[in-house]
């Protein structure tokens, strides 16, 4: 969704975000990012709900001059997720929904194995690298938006992402 | 397979691996968003934390506006309070009452002695008849008038087991008058003083554009209420202040010293009657003279203290040009500027004091906030690094 569509064009305030629209366009992305970073679905749900509530309460503080609404929202989500990480005392455990391999149909079995391989590779990444992957491929943010969220330059985002993708590919034993 | 193709496949796989929220969770969140995130009652929530939440939700502009409005309101309230104290404010002994009070019912403690000294008092009040001059001053010797009053040493029992307090009273009353009425009002003041058996210590009456009159009076404390009531009926009361001071302690102290001194004199007289040699008699007489002089000084101090309780100092000021009911008064642009300057001065003073208090507090709060923010950021970075 375009930024112009997300930002409310002056109903109450020139820069006040249209929260309803932002929520609808970002709910699943926010959850995906939180789950990708935290690797805990229950915690990701908590973080997603808390982040949206925090964003709702702070919506009048959004300033379009300082970045896009999505970058602003993901900044809030990131803080909530990092607070959650801090609370859990570095124990970010993977708790994805267990899948019985036998129940998976034969044509999908390869795909399922590939998924498991990818999950394992993601788990080996550092949290900072996993965060970049989550922002890029789970949340669908551009490099510029990621740069705003993480607080580094867009070119640095690109470099780190490339390096992270190489790591992932190596960790997947050449499956990609 | 080349690198870009690998990257593409990996990106596709990652997109497919994208976690999706449970339907139940998504529906619940949708409902909460639709309801505008209703606040849940907190078990341990305090009104202060609720207020903090609300403040956190405010935009910086609104927060700044609210803070500024609050500060302005505080300055305005403080200015009104300080201004209402007036320049003649006195410390704690001051009691203010509503304008146009009815003093007739006020009962002041009667003086310890009978005010038969009024015969010496009446004479100065009689100067009232001479108050019609363009500018006139008259004075009475406060000390001599009071000292001429009969003196009598208080009984020892009254000093040691004193049941009442010795209270000195004073009052100020400001009257607002038309310039043409100043002479009549002055005469009325003299008459009221005469009726109260009071003393005019000093009076000044001025006619013309800046007409006015000042009176410094001594009124028997027993008649103070009636006198003030009489003054307040002369013209519009613009201001009045009343003060009391407890002088029991110095009175008791001087009384006890006087009693001791008299006992010493009696002792010396007894010694003198039994003295046998000339040298011994001379020494005792010299000592007796000193003690009598000392007793006389103490007696004088005690008299003055007693006069302070018997008579109340009253200041009556008759002013013109500021009467609220005087539509043709001389209150003009100069007075308006003067009043405005006064109010602005008070407001500036209040602001300065407020800044002096709030400045350091704000700085400390700002530093604490920055430190907390830095700490939280560092903790978040560490959490991400260690995860």
pLDDT by residue for chain B (387 residues), tens only, comes to 566 676 778 888 888 888 999 999 999 999 999 888 887 665 555 666 667 766 666 666 677 788 888 888 888 888 788 777 654 444 333 333 333 444 444 444 444 444 333 333 333 333 333 333 344 444 443 433 344 434 444 444 454 555 678 888 999 999 988 888 888 899 999 999 999 999 999 999 887 777 889 999 999 998 898 999 999 999 888 888 888 888 999 999 999 999 999 999 999 999 989 988 999 999 999 999 999 999 999 999 999 998 888 999 999 999 886 544 444 556 788 888 888 888 899 889 888 998 898 889 999 999 999 999 899 888 888 877 776
H-only helix segments in chain B: 3-16, 23-34, 47-57, 60-85, 118-125, 142-147, 156-160, 182-195, 224-232, 248-274, 278-310, 333-386
For residues B247 and A24, give the distance between their C-alpha atoms in angstroms, rounded to a whole number: 81
- Which chain B residue's Cα is nearest to A27? B26
Please indicate, yes or no, if residue A19 is contained in any of the structural domains. Answer: yes
Please indicate, yes or no, if residue B135 is contained in any of the structural domains. Answer: yes
Nearest to B125 by CA among B237, B230, B206, B210: B230
Please indicate, yes or no, if residue B216 is contained in any of the structural domains. Answer: yes
Decide: B387 and A90 in contact? Cβ < 8 Å. yes
Please indicate, yes or no, if residue A22 is contained in any of the structural domains. Answer: yes
Backbone φ and ψ for A92, nearest 5 degrees, come out as -85, 100
DSSP strands (E only) in B102-149: 135-139
Tokens representing B268 are: 């010396």
Please indicate, yes or no, if residue B228 is contained in any of the structural domains. Answer: yes
Please indicate, yes or no, if residue A125 is contained in any of the structural domains. Answer: yes
Residue A67 structural domain: 3-171
Q: How open is the CA angle B228-B233-B239, to the nearest 5 degrees?
A: 65
Measure in Å the smallest separation between the Cα of A8 and chain B Cα atoms: 16
Residue B190 structural domain: 100-152+170-243+313-326
Residue A165: CATH number of its domain = 1.10.1740.10
Tokens representing B101 are: 């009070």
The DSSP annotation for A62-121 comes to: --GGGS-HHHHHHHHHHHHHHHHHHHTTT----BPPP--GGGS-HHHHHHHHHHHHHHHH
Measure in Å the smallest separation between the Cα of A107 and chain B Cα atoms: 16
A28 to B58: CB separation less than 8 angstroms, yes or no: no
Tokens representing B39 are: 């606040």
Nearest to A123 by CA among A167, A67, A158, A78: A167
**Does any CB of chain A come closer than 8 Å to the CB of residue B40?**
no
Please indicate, yes or no, if residue B352 is contained in any of the structural domains. Answer: no
**Number of folded domains that form chain A:** 1
A172 to B10: CB separation less than 8 angstroms, yes or no: yes
DSSP letter at A136 equals I
- CB < 8 Å to A44, chain B: 19, 21
**Number of folded domains that form chain B:** 1
Please indicate, yes or no, if residue B221 is contained in any of the structural domains. Answer: yes
Please indicate, yes or no, if residue A176 is contained in any of the structural domains. Answer: no
The beta-carbon neighbor of B17 closest among A82, A115, A128 is A115
């Amino acid at each position: 969704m375009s930024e112009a569509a997300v930002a409310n064009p002056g109903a109450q305030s020139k820069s006040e975000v249209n929260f309803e629209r932002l929520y609808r366009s970002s709910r699943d992305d926010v959850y995906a990012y939180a789950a990708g970073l935290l690797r805990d679905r229950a915690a990701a749900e908590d973080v997603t709900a808390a982040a949206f509530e925090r964003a709702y309460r702070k919506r009048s503080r959004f300033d379009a001059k300082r970045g896009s609404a999505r970058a602003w929202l993901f900044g809030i989500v990131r803080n909530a997720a990092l607070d959650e990480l801090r609370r859990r005392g570095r124990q970010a455990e993977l708790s994805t929904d267990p899948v019985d391999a036998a129940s998976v149909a034969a044509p999908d079995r390869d795909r399922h194995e590939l998924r498991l391989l990818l999950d394992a590779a993601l788990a080996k990444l550092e949290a900072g690298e996993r965060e970049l992957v989550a922002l890029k491929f789970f949340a669908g943010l551009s490099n510029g938006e990621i740069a705003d969220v993480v607080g580094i330059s867009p070119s640095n985002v690109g470099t780190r992402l490339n390096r992270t993708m190489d790591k992932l590919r190596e960790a997947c034993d050449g499956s990609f | 397979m080349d690198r870009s193709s690998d990257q593409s496949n990996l990106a596709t796989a990652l997109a497919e691996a994208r976690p999706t929220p449970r339907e139940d969770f998504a529906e619940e969140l949708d409902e909460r968003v639709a309801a505008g995130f209703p606040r849940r009652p907190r078990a341990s929530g305090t009104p202060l934390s609720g207020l903090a939440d609300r403040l956190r939700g405010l935009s910086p502009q609104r927060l700044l506006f609210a803070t500024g409005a609050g500060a302005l309101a505080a300055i305005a309230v403080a200015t009104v309070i300080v201004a209402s104290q007036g320049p003649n404010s006195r410390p704690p002994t001051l009691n203010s009452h509503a304008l146009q009070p009815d003093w007739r019912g006020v009962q002041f403690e009667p003086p310890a002695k009978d005010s038969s000294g009024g015969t010496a008092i009446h004479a100065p009040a009689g100067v009232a008849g001479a108050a019609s001059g363009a500018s006139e001053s008259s004075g009475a010797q406060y000390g001599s008038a009071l000292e001429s009053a009969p003196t009598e040493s208080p009984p020892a029992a009254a000093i040691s087991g004193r049941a009442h307090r010795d209270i000195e009273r004073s009052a100020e009353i400001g009257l607002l008058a038309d310039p043409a009425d100043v002479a009549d009002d002055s005469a009325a003041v003299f008459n009221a003083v005469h009726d109260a058996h009071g003393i005019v210590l000093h009076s000044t009456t001025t006619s013309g554009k800046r007409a006015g009159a000042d009176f410094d009076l001594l009124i028997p404390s027993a008649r103070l209420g009636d006198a003030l009531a009489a003054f307040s009926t002369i013209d519009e009361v613009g201001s009045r202040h009343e003060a009391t001071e407890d002088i029991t302690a110095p009175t008791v102290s001087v009384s006890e010293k006087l009693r001791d001194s008299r006992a010493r004199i009696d002792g010396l007289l007894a010694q003198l009657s039994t003295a046998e040699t000339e040298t011994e008699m001379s020494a005792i007489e010299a000592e007796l003279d000193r003690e009598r002089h000392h007793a006389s000084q103490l007696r004088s101090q005690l008299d003055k203290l007693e006069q302070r309780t018997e008579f109340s100092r009253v200041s009556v000021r008759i002013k013109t040009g500021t009467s609220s009911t005087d539509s043709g008064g001389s209150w003009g642009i100069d007075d308006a500027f003067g009043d405005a300057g006064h109010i602005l001065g008070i407001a500036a003073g209040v602001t300065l004091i407020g800044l002096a208090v709030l400045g350091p507090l704000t700085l400390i709060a700002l530093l604490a906030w920055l430190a907390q923010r830095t700490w939280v950021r560092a903790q978040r970075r560490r959490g991400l690094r260690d995860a």
